[in-house]
Chain A
Amino acid sequence: MLEKLIKEKLLPYVSKPARYLGNEWNVLTQDWDSSKLRIALAFPDVYEVGMSHLGLKILRESLLSNKNYLVERVFAPWVDLEERMRAYKVPLFSLESWRPLKSFDLIGFTLQYELSFSNVVNMLDLAGIPIRSEERADDDPIIMGGGPCAFNPEPVADFFDLIVIGEGEEVILEIAEAVAFWKEKGKRNRKELLLQLSKYSGVYVPSLYNVEYGNDGIILNIKPKSKEVPKIIKKRIVTDLDSSFFPTRPIVPHMEIVHDRIMLELFRGCTRGCRFCQAGMIYRPVREKKLETLLNQAEELVKSTGYNEIGLTSLSSSDYSKIKELAEQLLDRYGKKGVGVSLPSLRIDNFSLELAKEIQKVRKAGLTFAPEAGTQRLRDVINKGVTEEDVLSTAESAFRAGWSSIKLYFMIGLPTETDEDVIGIADLAQKVYEVGRKVNKENKGSKKQIKITVSVSSFVPKSHTPFQWVPQNTREELKRKQELLKNALPKDRRKIDFNWHDVEVSFLEGVFARGDRRLSRVIERAQQLGCKFDGWTEEFKFQTWMQAFSDCKIDPEPYAYRKREFQELLPWEHIDAGVTKDFLMSEYRKAMRAETTWDCRQGRCTGCGISANLGVVGPRCGGEDLD
């Protein structure tokens, strides 16, 4: 029934119908009736974004290791399809079998960014599944969440039956097994199932916790409702990536997606210790795959996908200990076939540039560097271990190697930032431009126009980082700084281009990044008022969001702008990412003194606590033993 409606009444009238076909290469045909558990993996954004996410592919691979499980995908339908679905009363359907999402047993949403929260609610609404966990009946699907935003899941906690903290590929099998058993027994007493799951390591069942607030809105207490429920939820990690699940037959989309290439994950975690970076804290410890594993996986991926590019994806890929060898071997094996290798972003040093030069023999792309801040003082505050000299000498080598356009990423609104730091961004961009001109003059033949793109985002303080206590810059302040920078840059945009982020989007992101449970009403209200796809400029409705806050009588500003005290209970106090609060505090204090911390891969242990906390030791973790 749904099949005919979708084919005849929906898809012929929407943009990019290829998003919704579900019959791409490497999709499995699975039998609905004989499967013991039906699982849908959901990404709350459009297809081309969701399909670019490696985590989803890894989870699918893990679940498919059990032949009794049927696994399908679902993404947020774009607004044009949603409109028609609502008009024809077509519920949200899975991609592969075009069956209602509601007919699945277990649905997992990934929470990659705060601005997708409204889409989670909208998808549940479109599916006809009760939005709040407490409203769901025994035969409704179990709604599960995970991903980086799960490290402060509180704003969406009420929507989820359970949330996975940390890496999901192992625990998801344990959860699936429990749900399958519960289903076999007739899906009775959902609460008991959730209680059982709350005892699994890495599983958080929000409904089993009480949060108490004081008159000033500050949290007094976060307590489990019963003694059996753990007080602290420790994140899960995979200890050995070589033997863990990795998809070697990933689904190959028909249409162009954001990351339209093989994604080869080299390692997890990052030890650079940039103080603004949540990923750098929550994905610790560093765990590398062996070179041999990577070469085998690459071989299978090239064969099974037909892609012409291998992206080396990790937090800072050139930190992989055998990166040069890996790149050389991949180029050697696949270059002839027209398959190239790419690095998502470059560290600012000559080693990385040499690597890029080698890689680009096959395919030429632009170069991107991220100095993050405009002055040395501020780069020290955020612990971005890069000097101006690094930037200029790497840029010079790049221009000499034939690149003519370089993109520079910066942030404004960082803690302790002054106007001098903001203007420093313009100065640095100008200096990089001058280096390019100088190289051009030396090579008299070169007619290439040097172009620098300055891309500036606004800093959003995130949970589990040394900056989790700091006030976010106000919208007015950020706008003023953007203006200041705009005026400090040369007028000619053909030479130095400038783009920046919408301050209202960053504000909302900031509210949710450190928000608490009271915000779930606001998200629900905003969805009712029509908010969705908040990460998409054309769909973002700031005034509607403000309406939702005011309807719920909640002032969003303190969430973003308030300075937190060290002794204050934070909304994510019960979520343990492995890095200790003492370490975060010490890093915060060092930041205020503009003191840097070394990378533990190149020296002593910095004492972040991850190794003691998760029982991983030695070289796996990064540094040597604790002092």
Chain B
Amino acid sequence: MIKLRVKFSKKGRTCFISHLDLLRTFERSLRRANIPIAFSQGFNPHPKISFGSVLPVGLESEAEYVDFVLSEEYDSLRFKEILNQFLPTGLSVVAVEQVTPDAPSLMEEINLAVYRLIIDFELPVSKSELISDLEKFLAQEKIIITKKTKKGEKEINIRPLIKHLKLVATEQSTEKEWILTLAVYMGSKGSVRLDQLLVELNKFLPKIEYAKFLRTGLYIEKNNEIYCPLNKQLVKE
């Protein structure tokens, strides 16, 4: 038994397939590729595939992570090459690394998500105006949103979950389209729904025509340092 940790992207139309569909798609792709995925024991065996996060339907991502347990040795590079031939358009393996079978699960470790937010404003907006709007948004002590739970509605403060939100460095001064970077915590500390965050952000920004998120990275923040889930590479902010 070996465990392969895989970074993959989910883009284009394929962003509309659900988490469950994604699992099924990987399972079928592995079978097509003749890659020996291991199955759980028991009455209803299922393939040993575990994801690092649940990507919301409709969101594109450049960096998702998944662990596959295989029943036989398999070369990482070959895995990438072969599986990519059998994945449907829009899904693509970016990198593969073999980890020890007892490596902590991705779900336990990943706690930070980074997004690119592309905003089309109705009218051109100046850079200085935008920077000051974002500052005001972040200066709030609390950003309260209502979360639906099984028991009813619950108010939570999402401000502590926002690590940073800033303009991507650019030459332009006044423009309709702007690109922002957003980093939010996820996992055990709680999570933010992007559509809800956008509603809050809208209160501080000029009128938006269209806004779109793209997930660009998932990270592990530990002891004030940030790592990549693959290779445990240290990431500079």
Of B14-22, B163-171, B183-191, B224-232, which binds chain A? B14-22
Cβ B45 vs Cβ A252 within 8 A: no
Residue B160 interfacial (CB < 8 Å): no
Cβ A255 vs Cβ B18 within 8 A: yes
Residue A344 interfacial (CB < 8 Å): no
Tell me the residues in window 1-52 of chain A with beta carbons closer than 8 Å to chain B beta carbons: 7-8, 11-12, 16-18, 20-25, 27
Q: A23-B89, A254-B21, A303-B32 are in contact. Are A338 and B39 (CB under 8 A)?
A: yes
Residue B27 interfacial (CB < 8 Å): yes
Residue A308 interfacial (CB < 8 Å): yes
Complex-state Cα separation, A331 to B212, whole angstroms: 49
User: How near does chain A come to B9, taking the closest CB pair, in angstroms?
Assistant: 15
Residue A619 interfacial (CB < 8 Å): no
Complex-state Cα separation, A256 to B22, whole angstroms: 11
Q: Which of A7, A22, A254, A255 has the most CB of B within 10 A?
A: A254
Q: A18-B16, A22-B13, A338-B45 are in contact. Are A306 and B21 (CB under 8 A)?
A: no
Q: Which residue of B lies closest to A14 (CB)?
A: B16
Cβ A24 vs Cβ B88 within 8 A: yes
Residue A304 interfacial (CB < 8 Å): yes
Q: Which residue of B lies closest to A6 (CB)?
A: B13
Q: A18-B17, A21-B13 are in contact. Are A254 and B25 (CB under 8 A)?
A: yes
Q: How large is the interface on A (under 10, 10 to 19, 20 to 34, 35 or more residues)?
A: 20 to 34
Complex-state Cα separation, A8 to B209, whole angstroms: 11
Residue A500 interfacial (CB < 8 Å): no
Cβ A306 vs Cβ B29 within 8 A: yes
Interface string of A47-83 (1 = CB under 8 A from B): 0000000000000000000000000000000000000
Q: Which residue of B lies closest to A364 (CB)?
A: B43
Cβ A306 vs Cβ B17 within 8 A: no
Residue B131 interfacial (CB < 8 Å): no
Q: Which residue of B lies closest to A23 (CB)?
A: B89
Residue B136 interfacial (CB < 8 Å): no
User: How near does chain B come to A584, taking the closest CB pair, in angstroms?
Assistant: 45
Number of interface residues of B (CB under 8 A): 27
Q: Which residue of B lies closest to A307 (CB)?
A: B28
Residue A544 interfacial (CB < 8 Å): no
Complex-state Cα separation, A17 to B90, whole angstroms: 15
Q: B57 contacts which of A17, A27, A306, A308 (Cβ < 8 Å)?
A: A17
Q: Which residue of B lies closest to A308 (CB)?
A: B31
User: How near does chain B come to A253, taking the closest CB pair, in angstroms?
Assistant: 9
Residue A227 interfacial (CB < 8 Å): no
Cβ B14 vs Cβ A306 within 8 A: no
Q: Which residue of B lies closest to A4 (CB)?
A: B210
Residue A337 interfacial (CB < 8 Å): yes
User: How near does chain B come to A165, taking the closest CB pair, in angstroms?
Assistant: 37
Residue B206 interfacial (CB < 8 Å): no
Residue A305 interfacial (CB < 8 Å): yes
Residue B217 interfacial (CB < 8 Å): no
Complex-state Cα separation, A73 to B210, whole angstroms: 30
Complex-state Cα separation, A27 to B89, whole angstroms: 9
Q: B32 contacts which of A17, A18, A305, A364 (Cβ < 8 Å)?
A: A305
User: How near does chain A come to B28, taking the closest CB pair, in angstroms?
Assistant: 3
**Which residues from A are CB-within-8-Å of B88?**
23-25, 254
Cβ A306 vs Cβ B30 within 8 A: yes
Tell me the residues in window 195-237 of chain B with beta carbons closer than 8 Å to chain A beta carbons: 210, 212
Complex-state Cα separation, A308 to B58, whole angstroms: 28
Complex-state Cα separation, A8 to B58, whole angstroms: 10
Complex-state Cα separation, A71 to B207, whole angstroms: 43
Q: Which residue of B lies closest to A7 (CB)?
A: B13
Q: Which of B16, B27, B210 has the most CB of A within 10 A?
A: B16
Q: A256 contacts which of B24, B32, B43, B57 (Cβ < 8 Å)?
A: B24
Q: Which residue of A lies closest to B58 (CB)?
A: A12
Residue B12 interfacial (CB < 8 Å): yes
Q: Which residue of B lies closest to A16 (CB)?
A: B18
**Which residues from B are CB-within-8-Å of A11?**
16, 58
Complex-state Cα separation, A307 to B28, whole angstroms: 6
**Which residues from A are CB-within-8-Å of B25?**
25, 254
Complex-state Cα separation, A308 to B25, whole angstroms: 12
Cβ B31 vs Cβ A337 within 8 A: yes
Q: Which of A18, A24, A339 has the most CB of B within 10 A?
A: A18
Complex-state Cα separation, A7 to B210, whole angstroms: 12
Q: B17 contacts which of A21, A303, A305 (Cβ < 8 Å)?
A: A21
Cβ B31 vs Cβ A21 within 8 A: no
**Which residues from A are CB-within-8-Å of B20?**
256
Cβ A305 vs Cβ B28 within 8 A: yes
Q: A23 contacts which of B12, B39, B45, B86 (Cβ < 8 Å)?
A: B12
Complex-state Cα separation, A308 to B44, whole angstroms: 13
Cβ A8 vs Cβ B30 within 8 A: no
User: How near does chain A come to B70, taking the closest CB pair, in angstroms?
Assistant: 14
**Which residues from A are CB-within-8-Å of B58?**
11-12, 17
Complex-state Cα separation, A43 to B86, whole angstroms: 28
**Which residues from A are CB-within-8-Å of B210?**
8
Complex-state Cα separation, A256 to B90, whole angstroms: 19
Q: A23-B90, A25-B88, A255-B24 are in contact. List 18 more A-B contacts (CB 8 A).
A: A7-B13, A12-B58, A17-B16, A18-B21, A23-B89, A24-B88, A25-B28, A27-B89, A254-B25, A255-B18, A256-B20, A305-B32, A306-B29, A306-B30, A306-B31, A306-B32, A308-B31, A339-B31
7 shortest interchain CB distances as A-B pairs: A306-B28, A17-B16, A306-B31, A306-B32, A254-B17, A21-B13, A254-B21
Q: List 10 A-B contacts (CB under 8 A).
A: A7-B13, A17-B57, A17-B58, A23-B90, A27-B89, A252-B28, A255-B18, A307-B31, A308-B31, A338-B39
